Chains A and B, each alone.
Chain A
Amino acid sequence: MSVPVEFYMVLSGLVFIIGLVGVLVRKNLIIILLSIELMLNATNINFVAFSSHFGNLSGQVFVFFALTVAAAEVAVGLAIIIALYRHHASINVDDFRLLKW
């Protein structure tokens, strides 16, 4: 007896929407990056659930790649946050309204 895959789809949709609302609503840049992590995890749950449902391992390999991209995104994103903080002494997204060129 196993859990139907639709339950996993509902869970993943809920987590994705929470992440989306977090990206749109919060002002703190770090929390926005954490919300992006939430969305990536939601897609990963879906991948693994379908991989187990269809008996196909490719889904788990794609989770592996998504994880690599998430790690790269975190490294670059946090470096950008540190550089911004050094210039403006703030990580509030409302303070960054001007492009330079």
Chain B
Amino acid sequence: MLGKLSWETALPQDIVTLGGVIMGGLGLLAVIAAMTYYKKWGWLWRHWLTSLDPKKIGIMYIAVSALMLLRGLADAAMLRAQQAVFANMADSPVSADLFQQVFSAHGTIMIFFVAMGIIFGVINLIMPLQIGARDVAFPLLNAISFWLFFAGMALMNVSLAIGGEFSTAGWLAYPPLSGLEYSPGPGVDYWIWSLQVSGIGSLLSGVNFLVTIFTMRRKGMTLMKMPIFTWSVVASMLLVVFVFPILTVTLTLLSLDRTLETHFFTSDMGGNPMMYVNLIWAWGHPEVYILILPAFGIFSEVVAALCGKRLFGYVSMVWALMAISVLSFTVWLHHFFTMGGGANVNAFFGIMTMIIAIPTGVKVFNWLFTMYRGRVRFDTPMLWFMGFVVTFTIGGVTGVMLAVPGIDFQVHNTLFLVAHFHNVIIGGVVFGMFAGYAYWFPKFTGFRLHEGLGKAAFWSWLIGFVLAFGPLYILGFMGAVRRLDSYDPSLGWQGLFIVAGIGLLIILLGVFFQVVQLAYSIWKRKELAVGPDPWNGRTLEWATPTPVPEYNFATLPTVHERDAFWEQKQEKDKAKKLSYEAIHLPKNTGYGVYVGAASFVIGFAVIWHIWWLALVGVAATVILVIMSSLWEDSEKELSAKEVESIETKLWGQKA
């Protein structure tokens, strides 16, 4: 009846996991109790969970990702504590098996449920505004994407409570280790299904955003007049629609190997484990560009606005973005030069990898030239940008080093590699998200984030980052492999691991400042209040009132130039036209939540081989999709009068 699920298999096996489950469970209970006490469930359901407004969906993405960031950091803290202190102790609280689960979970969470979530959140918030649209192309599909992401996240976290273990096979679960023979438990299945469910959500988002950009731009906004962030979304989402199907297939095949005992990636009966590695990186390498390109877009907006200049080299920026997205398909083999593909194969992929550094370099120089002779304001977003230029460039240089097959053979799978990709992902993606957070926050709330605390967070992150990952480069050269839960004390590595651990503590201090900053800014929101255009912005998202109304633009703007809002502001004499018309918006609906729930059920049922429940989940999904496609009358109308009263209210409260 319940497949492989029973009391013995379900409970957490070790004390640390059990502690995590209890803490998480208590937190969840506290939230539920508070919600019930303050009677907020109806409000939550009507105003958030069922909303099809991309701005609200974007905020939900970011809220979930922020929580997951905290969990990922807790995992990182356990890894650092183990390597710095416990590794040489006889009785470590982190067993070897737990250590493997923790690094697998850390990577999976940070990439899929933090970085991806924040990117989709920011795109939802900003992109429709930047192109002067009122919505995305398929609002319901957008909500479904979010709820699939949420369901994947839920599966990922439920693995601790039910089953008591996550995958021990690393964030990309290479077979044969991730096969049935060596990982018989539910951990790898949890990994597969949390990624499968959220991955399908990402794929649907990719299609949705591309169609939005291609068909819903404002009159006059030709492709070469789009804001550069929107261009970065095009580049990134093109990659999504091309590579996420590969991930879907790869995960399906691994899942078939584990449930129907097929032989795609087994070591016997003709299976080929290296094919998995090829497939997963054919998705995985473009994936890192899916993450970094929108961050490039954010930096481009921040630099132009905070230097008071139009972006230097717009056209070359666009070409660089597109070049990177094309080239990113031709480099996947550099993740396994040691496979034995041969000298010519390795040389090809090595050279292609180095070539990617060229368009990336073009972008860095364009940003620097935008600063040149600009009126630079050193607010928090700009600090994140400047921190990014330094750290990302270092990460890029070590990446080019790794692209040389000869060097790669030496440092393959060492901490040098770990330091490299944290250098580009933290220095690039994470700093980019923080820059965007500080930059766009006032647009949606009406008040700024506290500047002093933001700067404190920035410096903690930057210094902590150098201390946390600098030593890993050295350790990598000294031969420390990654994913190491213990080492011989005579190697003399412990000092460097302790420095890395201190670095992490300083990063955690930065996170602490960010949490305080958010709470403090909400508390002091009256004093921090700003108008709709606090940075003297250049693109259309600053043209709306603040907070942005559900319909974004009461009268849709016409675009003549690249920096459309800048252009509007120059034509001061033109009196504002005040004739409003009725606006059609999608009604709220629970379909997104239901589809997410059904997908969760499917994933959970297959993990535990509860086949009847899986069938129920599939049937529910099919019925929900049919019902939502038959849904008539899905739009509500805001009359011209209502629009006018909202607009008057919002513009009236200008600070």
Report whether chain A binds chain B: no
Query: Footprint of A on B, CB under 8 Å?
Result: none
